[in-house]
Amino acid sequence: MPNTPTDTTQTTNNSTPPALTILHTSDWHLGRRLYGQQRYAEFEAFLAWLTDTIEQQQVDVVIVAGDIFDTMTPSNKAQALYYEFLGKISQLHCQHVVIVAGNHDSPTFLDAPKTALKYLNVHIIGTACEDPRDEVLTLMDNQGNPYCIVTAVPYLRDRDVRGSIAGESSSDKDANVIAGIQAHYQQVAEHAKSIQSKLIANHQCHIPIIATGHLFTVGGKTTDDDGVRDLYVGTLGQVSASIFDDCFDYVALGHLHVPQKVGGCEHIRYSGSPIAMGFGEARQQKQVLLVRFTHIDVKNQTDKQITPIAVPCFQPMAQISGTLEQIEEKIHHAVTTLCHTENNTQNRTLWLEVIYTGQEVVSDLREHIQSIICDLPCEVLKIKNTSTYNKVLQQQSDDETLQDLDEREVFERCLDTYQVPDSQKPTLRQAYEQILHTLQQQDSQAE
């Protein structure tokens, strides 16, 4: 990378703009744990693989669409992995990195080093800009030719897109949030189109516009234990593909961990998380997305190719369910499969979530599972017992620890413990959701 900022809209170079290769990734969640297990080895292995992939594919622009960290106060180790990655790829073919904040990130934490990182052509938009036009970046190559225009829109918090109105109903709040998000994207689109028209007039070649976003789209696929939060209080906090202007040649989205298209549109994509964030994702083939543009005559459409690149599994995981006999059989099958894969050359340990679905009451379920995995390269991180018998449910409760439950499950247990009437639960749940939402919206790194 050159050591000078390149965010400019002015150029007098009339040579043909270069072809462009973009790598789209998101939702790294650096620092995330799984049932108390640290995962830094996985994150480090992924970033090393990503660095190699960027160089092998001769990537020009890397886009990270939010949730770089798992919390707003990332650990020193998580920060070290982040900055080491940025430092390494600054020495490669890659010309630019565009990073936007997700709902898990601290906007001010990401923004703090942005001035220094800009000299490595790392462009960070942590906080939504007061003027959305400031989120529009024009990326140039070493010769001053425009690669593309990026509307680097981060996760838009309530305060970014709507004002508080006294007496506003929940449905009104949701509608105003959606309207605010749509207006924000429209403003950046209009500004990007004005820049694009000037560049086209100068270069006589189509300059693609790339949009980013960290949001929940209508019909988006999730898994039960991926930790994906509802972004807004209420039921309407999801947007449709229609908010993205037709000028966007590609839309790089983050937030949902399942790789997917939006509204059947080839060019609007979630890359998904690069490692499994929960056992529900263990069977997914994780990926990053490679987007190649070939600049052709301005009167024609830009030639674009979108290619998923499979991310290797750096920590084998399996979700096992069934009766005791079925669980034992499936564990041995999973271990056998692992031992015969080329990816297990380092003799890694298989992490297991075991779900007992049998009807027989098993008072020593945990001990029985431990006896099954004795001498096997396995570690059981979670045991669930779904039997409807009260005795089994009590046994499950005795085996559980607080780290096995999320904040909503703890609240539900409190409702049951204090025997709150069913008629009062909906109101209490709504109030609790509002509290959680308020806490998640606050930037703990801000002064």
Per residue in 346-365, pLDDT tens?
A: 668 999 999 998 888 777 88
Of all residues in the chain, what percent are helix, strand and coil, respectively (each to 5)?
35, 20, 45
**Mean pLDDT taken over the chain:** 83
Largest Cα span, the chain: 77
Q: Which of 363, 356, 250, 359 is nearest to 307 (CA)?
A: 250
Neighbours of 252 (CB within 10 A): 30
| Confidence tier at 215 by pLDDT (50, 70, 90) | very high
The pLDDT assigned to 429 comes to 73
> Which residues neighbour 17 within 8 Å (Cβ) at sequence distance 6 or greater?
141, 145, 146, 147, 203, 205, 207, 295
Which residues, 6 or more positions from 401, have their beta carbon under 8 angstroms from its beta carbon?
A: none
Least confident of 183-187, 302-306, 309-313: 302-306
pLDDT band at 344 (very low <50, low <70, confident <90, very high): very low
Beta strands in 2-100 (DSSP E): 20-25, 61-65, 96-100
The percentage of residues in the chain with a pLDDT greater than 90, rounded to a whole number, is: 55
| Coil/strand/helix, residue 254 | strand
DSSP-derived letter for residue 316 is -
Is residue 447 pLDDT above 60, yes or no?
A: no
Q: Which of residues 162 and 337 earns the better pLDDT score?
A: 337
| E strand map for 263-385 | 265-270, 287-294, 303-310, 317-322, 350-356, 378-385
Give dist(CA 195, CA 135) in Å, integer: 13
Q: Does residue 121 register a pLDDT over 80? A: yes
Taking residues 129-158, what's their average pLDDT?
93
Residue 177, C-beta contacts closer than 8 angstroms, at least 6 positions apart: 158, 161, 162, 232, 236, 237
The pLDDT value given to residue 442: 64
Q: What is the pTM of this model?
A: 0.82
Pick the more confident residue, 221 or 321: 321
pLDDT at 407 > cutoff 60:
yes
337 is written with which tokens? 């499969």
pLDDT of residue 427: 73
Instruction: Give the separation between CA 413 and CA 398, rounded to whole angstroms.
Output: 13
d(CA 150, CA 138) in angstroms, rounded, equals 6
Give CA–CA dist 32/195, Å, rounded: 39
Residue 234: is its pLDDT beyond 70?
no
Task: Tell me the one-letter amino acid at 206.
Answer: H
What is the DSSP annotation of 131-195? SGGGGEEEEE-TTS-EEEEEE------HHHH----TT--HHHHHHHHHHHHHHHHHHHHHHHHHH
What is the distance between the alpha carbons of residues 94 and 144, in angstroms, rounded to a whole number? 15
Place of tokens 């080093």: 113
Q: Which residues have C-beta within 8 Å of that of residue 179, sequence separation ≥ 6?
A: 161, 162
Measured in Å, how far apart are the chain's first and last C-alpha atoms? 33
Whether residue 226 is predicted with pLDDT greater than 80 in this model: the reply is no
Q: Which domains does the chain have, with CATH numbers?
A: 20-310 (3.60.21.10), 317-441 (3.30.160.720)
CA distance 39 to 33: 6
Is the model's pLDDT at 64 over the cut of 80?
Answer: yes
Residues 6+ apart with CB under 8 A from 398: none
**Per-residue pLDDT at 446 exceeds 80:** no
Are 255 and 196 spatial neighbours (Cβ–Cβ below 8 Å)? no
